[in-house]
Structure 1
Amino acid sequence: MDQLTALRVFRNVVEQGGFAAAARKLGLSPAAISKNIGELEAHLATRLLNRTTRRMSLTEAGRQYYQQLARILDDLDDADRSLGPLRDHLSGTLRVSAPMTFSLECLTRHIPVFLERHPQLALDLQLDDRRVDIVKEGFDLAIRGSDQLQDSSLVARHLTTLEHVICASPAYFQRHGQPHRPEDLQQHQCLRFSLSGHANTWTFGKNGKDVTVPVKGRYQVSSSLAIRDALRAGLGLSLVPLAYVREDLERGVLQSALDDWTKVRIQVHALYPSARYLNPKVRAFIDFLLEILGEPLTCGSAG
């Protein structure tokens, strides 16, 4: 028995004065009306209606049940209607978790445009490189980048791809020479992003074959922006997202190496708990992310 349907059927039978009228109101057959009433009475182990071929009346139990039930269904209808503004207009607070460097380089400068489009919406953007528990911590959505997305009950929407590049300052290459094959990196000071899944081994591809090289150096750090500062200072070379150093490469502040080898590609996704009945504010933010994170991804300088 679908109890909610049975309750609504019972209410309409009472208010419409009979099975046939209730059937017309609800768009059900008289047989379906009768079946729902019978199942409800069986569930309650109580007769709610006295009925003959010519008339119908409430029992004492039916009258008491109807009075309480009508209030409950009215409250339920009010609760359903109260969600209308949330469904139809972007309002309330959208809570988003996003990685620090990616957001500062590629996202936060665009946020004013999003908020101007939706003046009734508040955004709580938490910048944190840790992997938050979206459901437990009450986030509507999380942005994550990974070269291998972990299995999850979360829905993942692909946003963009972060290509990587080997680079260093011209001064560093003048002192230490440029690597010509991946194995040469073992002779260099490799600046490592400690939160990466490939911090200590870098993989390259060419002609259908992969080469994985262990790397080491005096400096590892949990921020790609700190890696970029060290690259500019000539401290070593690194494998970094191209979007973070594109302007430095164009201006000659940094130079790339091993350009004829493929490198890691980080897939950036929007993760959220369910695709069913997706909240409009979440959908709007995902659409906005797809709008600003084009392929290939180009990000502005952090300044």
Structure 2
Amino acid sequence: MDKLVSLQTFIRVVEDGSFAAAARKIGQSRSQVNRAVAALEDDLGVQLLNRTTRQVSVTPSGQAYYQRAKGILADLGEAEESIRESRETPSGDIRINAPMSFGTLHLGPALVDFAGLYPDIRVELALNDHFIDPVADGFDMTVRISRPSETLALIDHEIIPIKRVLCASPDFIHTHGEPDDIRALTTLPCLHYGNLPSGASWKMTGPDGPVAVQVNGVFCCNNAEVLRDAALAGLGIAEIPTFIAGPELQTGRLVTILCDYTPPELFLYLLYPPSRQLSSRIRLLVDFMHERFGGQPRWDLVQ
């Protein structure tokens, strides 16, 4: 019996929990389904399923084989789809997850343009700042701003470094003076990302190497756009990505301080399962992201 058919049959039996239910789903007799699974077991020399008169259960070997077989068939489906797509106008769905601020300020408008270029590709964008599992949550691509992932189960595709700066409003500096020592952050009002109202530790690299400062946190939020607005209102010093504070830095509504100290570098990168890279939709989106955001970011203030 054809190995591919046997694999598909075995997966059906595992997911339906019985030979009879699998047979009904695939339009074969129960004996045909049983023979397909038995042929796999004979070929492998192991028992994949425990059979009783009332139910079917998966053996440990069967469970491991099921997981691998399902992945193989998924990869095969992606490969077939890729070949079909190469001969056709790009179409289909792309589900994308991205962080809230970058999504609203930059990615959303970019994806509007992408959708205009490829009207047969349906884009679904979900924005949140929570860590998600791209595979388990069913996303084709995840856009992240952090240190690149080290998981071997996913491909990470770096686009650009993300710069962060220490900044404050001119009014704040006029009132408090411009600090010339990193230790000033322990007493000056600071605005920080997170939920620690008593303060937070900011890690940076300065002229003498890495340094950590327990800042005087007077306002905190888990959204950097709110921190930017608080800095504009003169509430304190903030550590903000330039993709959020860029326009205010360029117009002088915010100014950088302690420029010899830099926060750890983050990256804008794409994360997706290995099988997705075969999809022409994903390749088009990766190329588009490089073209749109690669090189010198438009939001960065040249200093």
1:177 matched residue in structure 2? 177
Kindly tell me: are residues 81 and 283 of structure 1, through their superposed partners in 2, closer, same or farther at Cα, counting changes over 3 Å?
Answer: closer
CA deviation after TM superposition for structure 1 residue 247, in Å: 1.7
CA deviation after TM superposition for structure 1 residue 162, in Å: 1.0
Alignment deviations for residues 253-286 of structure 1 (CA, whole Å, 9 cap, x no partner): 1111011223221111100011575211111111
Is contact 2:143-2:271 (8 Å) kept?
yes
1:146 matched residue in structure 2? 146
Q: How many residues align?
A: 231
SS in 1 for 2:291: helix
Is contact 1:146-1:268 (8 Å) kept?
yes
Is contact 2:146-2:268 (8 Å) kept?
yes
1:284 matched residue in structure 2? 284
2:28 matched residue in structure 1? none
1:269 matched residue in structure 2? 269
SS in 2 for 1:158: strand
Bigger Cα Rg: 1
Kindly tell me: are residues 233 and 294 of structure 1, through their superposed partners in 2, closer, same or farther at Cα, counting changes over 3 Å?
Answer: same
CA deviation after TM superposition for structure 1 residue 89, in Å: 3.2
In the alignment, the residues of structure 1 paired with residue 190 and residue 210 of structure 2 have an alpha-carbon distance, to the nearest angstrom, of 20
Kindly tell me: are residues 92 and 187 of structure 1, through their superposed partners in 2, closer, same or farther at Cα, counting changes over 3 Å?
Answer: same
1:238 matched residue in structure 2? 238
CA deviation after TM superposition for structure 1 residue 143, in Å: 0.5
Task: Give TM-score, length-normalised by structure 2.
Answer: 0.67
1:205 matched residue in structure 2? 205
Is contact 2:148-2:156 (8 Å) kept?
no
Kindly tell me: are residues 215 and 147 of structure 1, through their superposed partners in 2, closer, same or farther at Cα, counting changes over 3 Å?
Answer: farther
Q: CA RMSD in A?
A: 3.3
2:132 matched residue in structure 1? 132
1:46 matched residue in structure 2? none
CA deviation after TM superposition for structure 1 residue 135, in Å: 1.0
In the alignment, the residues of structure 2 paired with residue 288 and residue 81 of structure 1 have an alpha-carbon distance, to the nearest angstrom, of 21
Choose 124-133 or 213-222, whichever is displaced more. Answer: 213-222
Kindly tell me: are residues 208 and 87 of structure 1, through their superposed partners in 2, closer, same or farther at Cα, counting changes over 3 Å?
Answer: farther
Is contact 1:105-1:299 (8 Å) kept?
no
CA deviation after TM superposition for structure 1 residue 86, in Å: 7.6
SS in 2 for 1:218: strand
Alignment deviations for residues 134-159 of structure 1 (CA, whole Å, 9 cap, x no partner): 11111000001114645452110001
Alignment deviations for residues 151-184 of structure 1 (CA, whole Å, 9 cap, x no partner): 4521100011111111111111111122212111
- AA partner of residue 104 (structure 2): L
Kindly tell me: are residues 250 and 263 of structure 1, through their superposed partners in 2, closer, same or farther at Cα, counting changes over 3 Å?
Answer: same
Equivalent residue runs for 1:88-103 within 5 Å? 88-103=88-103
Alignment deviations for residues 6-53 of structure 1 (CA, whole Å, 9 cap, x no partner): xxxxxxxxxxxxxxxxxxxxxxxxxxxxxxxxxx9x96xxxxxxxxxx
1:67 matched residue in structure 2? none
**Which consecutive unaligned segments of at least 5 residues does structure 1 have?**
6-39, 44-75
In the alignment, the residues of structure 2 paired with residue 177 and residue 84 of structure 1 have an alpha-carbon distance, to the nearest angstrom, of 64
In the alignment, the residues of structure 1 paired with residue 173 and residue 85 of structure 2 have an alpha-carbon distance, to the nearest angstrom, of 60
Equivalent residue runs for 1:1-303 within 5 Å? 3=3, 84-85=84-85, 88-147=88-147, 149-151=149-151, 153-194=153-194, 200-207=200-207, 209-274=209-274, 278-299=278-299
CA deviation after TM superposition for structure 1 residue 94, in Å: 0.6
**Which consecutive unaligned segments of at least 5 residues does structure 2 have?**
6-39, 44-75
Kindly tell me: are residues 139 and 82 of structure 1, through their superposed partners in 2, closer, same or farther at Cα, counting changes over 3 Å?
Answer: closer
- AA partner of residue 162 (structure 1): I
Is contact 1:93-1:122 (8 Å) kept?
yes
Kindly tell me: are residues 202 and 150 of structure 1, through their superposed partners in 2, closer, same or farther at Cα, counting changes over 3 Å?
Answer: farther
In the alignment, the residues of structure 1 paired with residue 292 and residue 82 of structure 2 have an alpha-carbon distance, to the nearest angstrom, of 33
Kindly tell me: are residues 80 and 102 of structure 1, through their superposed partners in 2, closer, same or farther at Cα, counting changes over 3 Å?
Answer: closer
Task: Give TM-score, length-normalised by structure 1.
Answer: 0.67
Is contact 1:94-1:122 (8 Å) kept?
yes
SS in 2 for 1:283: helix
